[in-house]
Chains A and B, each alone.
Chain A
Amino acid sequence: MAMIENRRKKSLIALTMVTPFVVTFSVFFLYPMLDMIRISFTDAPLVGAGHWVGFDNYLKLFGDRLFTLSLKNNAYFVALTVIPTTVIALLIALAINRLSGFRQTFVMSLFFMPYVLPVSVVTELWAWMLDLQFGVLQPVIALFTGKPVAVFKNPYWVMPMVAVVTIWWTNGFNVLLFIAGLRNIPSELYEAASLDGATTWQKFSRVTWPLLWPVTALVLTLQLILQLKIFDQIYLLSGGGPFNSSYVLLLKVYREAFQSNNGGYASAVATVLFLLIVVISVLQFQLLRIRRAS
């Protein structure tokens, strides 16, 4: 009897502890998400209710050239950022890991600094550095191309440059994750490897890389989710142009909803993006885990 009472008491405590989260999650995340899915089946404007239209919005998506183009651009952006940023972060983390004491903290904070900045500051900074008339980086570009390039207004340069800005901005966080991962690797393993006559490369490929894999998988997955949601930098730097060469899914959601007053259609695009992120990230994480297991 006493035991049952105890269990009941325990579950009551557990419930009270979980409730705040469940309530906030349901009110601010679950409900809006479900409502978004519901709205995607209507012809609702930005504010107010609409009529049920079934799968019309989704069928319309297939014929929407701008939607397919945005999908492609999103994929291109992911290719430009996810693996490069992971590799760069790993290299920086390995280098920082060789430092010690104050110097390590100092260098680490230098790399982390951009991450603290708001996106508007980051884009303004880069827009000025790359300004056609006054940009300090234009002479560097001119060195390779022979003349200054308005990078955010050039269909070939725009996506790679937005990727550079994004990597510069967000890399610090990945470096931090990698450093944490590196610190978790017991130093005895390296000592043992050294005793057995392992080279630096062997130590990396046989000790560091496999033991760091869980962190690498995490970074890759987080980056994938983050980069699929690209919006701010594009909106602020190029507005989706030129010739839609930087038009991405979230920009489409924004334009449809806030500019053209098509709440239902915008929700359909958002729902597709949501499903895309869920499917791809779950798939990727599973794949990465399989690799680790084998």
Chain B
Amino acid sequence: MRLIKTILLGTALSLAALPALAKQDIIWWDFLSGGDGVRMKALIDAFNKEHPDIQIKGTTLEWGVPFYTKVRTASAVGEGPDVMTYHLSRAPLGLEEKVLSEITPKDLEDAGLKTGDFFDAPIKAATHDGKLYAVPFDIHALILYYNADMLKGSPYLDANGKLTGIKTLADFEAALAWLKGKGVPTPVTYQSGGDAGVWRVFYTLLSQQGGEFVTNGKVLDGDNAEKAAKVIDTMSRWREKGWAPEQAEYQASVALFSAGKSAFQLNGVWEVPTYKDLEKNGKLGFKWSAVEIPPFMGKRATWADSHAFAIPNEGAKTVSGEKRAAVMKVIGWMEKHAIGWADAGHIPAYKAVTESADYKALQPNATYATLAEAAAFDPQTRITGVASPAYDASLNIIAPAIQGYMSGADAVQQIKTELQGKLK
């Protein structure tokens, strides 16, 4: 009798426990289609293999406005994903649109994370009114790539073949002139004909002067205007002297460096895997590395943004309960395995990973990881961030000004009239 009772009780208990053990399908949306997309897919596959009870179903959508529009409309009707990647620079607009659901302390606990585990800057960018709305995954920033072979014989390479002696704008321009004199077609390459590339360089050089894009609800107010004009005039000069490419689209700007036509490249960390892979297959043909952008304009600063994980706010249909715990488990796992993501060039926002021996062995990642302290995030406004009006202004005003259609001062004036009205 007792045996039967036990069996019955056991059956009942296991039946009750069944729903909790049921397989959770997590709908995941991201916008990572490049080399980093491949690494993200590897992470997802590894997670799925380790967790038979939680399966991530990933979809990659188009980066930029299309992604954020889809998130916005899908969440409004309760058809959004369970978890998505989100740019922290976009968080202010995301909050205004109410598409981000709060990540509660309980959620963090489910993920096995604490805010103290992360670098401060991205946590600050993900926090609003004391509430956390996204879990930072990385810091990605502009870095200076260099072709060591091309710099051979110049004073800018030390005995170990590492970049040296470039501390100021004058140093950098002297190096560019030296390269040009040696017949290098385009000494420094960046995406000079596109919104994102222009914005990143512009914002880096502005921040290096201590300049701010938005202060007290005013765009480029006070002496920020002069600082911005100085940046645009500097970028114009690079083009005039034939140092930087004319109207280079993104792919062309990368190709200039990988084809050995440029000795320097100002681009994001995410191209690191591209050159690593080329090098591994013996297709690159030169020695290269990358460093934090030197303080050209005086101060250490470099444009930066963060990829983060967020859970869409879908009103009554927002992910909750068991499923939410599973989503947080996914996020926690990703953070702790971010070394796979560091391989894509990004600096993990989860500090423990960057402190690991594995990360310290990763080159040139460990070299430029110093930039985490000098990261300059876009101001937290509705006109800045990925695919924002500020990006449009970069393509519409700064890029042509660099081509010589307008002086820096006039361009700044136009940026101000253009963007001020959108700030509300």
Co-assembled chains A and B? yes
List A residues at the B interface (Cβ < 8 Å).
45-48, 64-66, 132-133, 150, 153-155, 239-244, 255, 258-261
Identify 14 new A-B residue pairs, CB closer than 8 A, beyond the known A46-B97, A153-B403, A242-B399.
A45-B97, A46-B72, A47-B73, A48-B76, A64-B421, A132-B246, A132-B247, A150-B193, A153-B247, A241-B396, A241-B397, A242-B403, A259-B65, A261-B382
Query: For B195, what are the chain A residues with a Cβ–Cβ distance below 8 Å?
Result: 239
Taking a contact as CB atoms under 8 Å apart, the answer to whether A153 and B93 are in contact is no
Closest to B387 in A: A259
Pairs A–B under 8 Å by Cβ, sample size 15: A47-B72, A48-B76, A133-B248, A153-B399, A153-B403, A241-B392, A242-B395, A242-B396, A242-B399, A243-B406, A258-B65, A259-B389, A259-B392, A261-B72, A261-B96
Distance of B273 from chain A, by nearest CB (Å): 25
Closest to B422 in A: A260
Complex: how many Å from CA A255 to CA B403? 25
Query: For B69, what are the chain A residues with a Cβ–Cβ distance below 8 Å?
Result: 46, 258
Q: Which of A48, A132, A242, A255 is within 8 Å of B397, CB to CB?
A: A242
Instruction: Confirm or deny: B154 has a beta carbon within 8 angstroms of a beta carbon on chain A.
Output: no
Known: A239-B392, A261-B96. A155 touches B405 (CB 8 A): yes
Does more than half of chain A's interface fall in helix, strand or loop, or is it mixed? loop
Query: For A239, what are the chain B residues with a Cβ–Cβ distance below 8 Å?
Result: 195, 392, 395-396
B360-419 CB contacts (< 8 Å) to partner A:
382, 387-389, 392, 395-397, 399-400, 403, 405-406, 414, 417-418
List B residues at the A interface (Cβ < 8 Å).
65, 69, 72-73, 76, 93, 96-97, 193, 195, 246-248, 252, 382, 387-389, 392, 395-397, 399-400, 403, 405-406, 414, 417-418, 421-422
Complex: how many Å from CA A116 to CA B298? 56
Query: Most chain-A Cβ atoms within 10 A of its Cβ — which of B69, B388, B406, B418?
Result: B69
Query: For A46, what are the chain B residues with a Cβ–Cβ distance below 8 Å?
Result: 69, 72-73, 97
Query: For A255, what are the chain B residues with a Cβ–Cβ distance below 8 Å?
Result: 389, 392
Distance of B214 from chain A, by nearest CB (Å): 15
Distance of B291 from chain A, by nearest CB (Å): 28
Distance of A168 from chain B, by nearest CB (Å): 22
Taking a contact as CB atoms under 8 Å apart, the answer to whether B405 and A242 are in contact is yes
Query: For B93, what are the chain A residues with a Cβ–Cβ distance below 8 Å?
Result: 261
Known: A244-B396, A258-B69. A47 touches B76 (CB 8 A): yes
Taking a contact as CB atoms under 8 Å apart, the answer to whether B97 and A261 are in contact is yes
Taking a contact as CB atoms under 8 Å apart, the answer to whether B96 and A153 are in contact is no
Q: Which of A47, A65, A259 is within 8 Å of B417, CB to CB?
A: A65
Known: A47-B72, A242-B396. A150 touches B382 (CB 8 A): no
Closest to B414 in A: A243
Closest to A46 in B: B72
Query: For B247, what are the chain A residues with a Cβ–Cβ distance below 8 Å?
Result: 132, 150, 153
Distance of B71 from chain A, by nearest CB (Å): 11
Distance of B415 from chain A, by nearest CB (Å): 11
Query: For B396, what are the chain A residues with a Cβ–Cβ distance below 8 Å?
Result: 239-244
Complex: how many Å from CA A155 to CA B399? 12
Distance of A124 from chain B, by nearest CB (Å): 12
Distance of B267 from chain A, by nearest CB (Å): 18
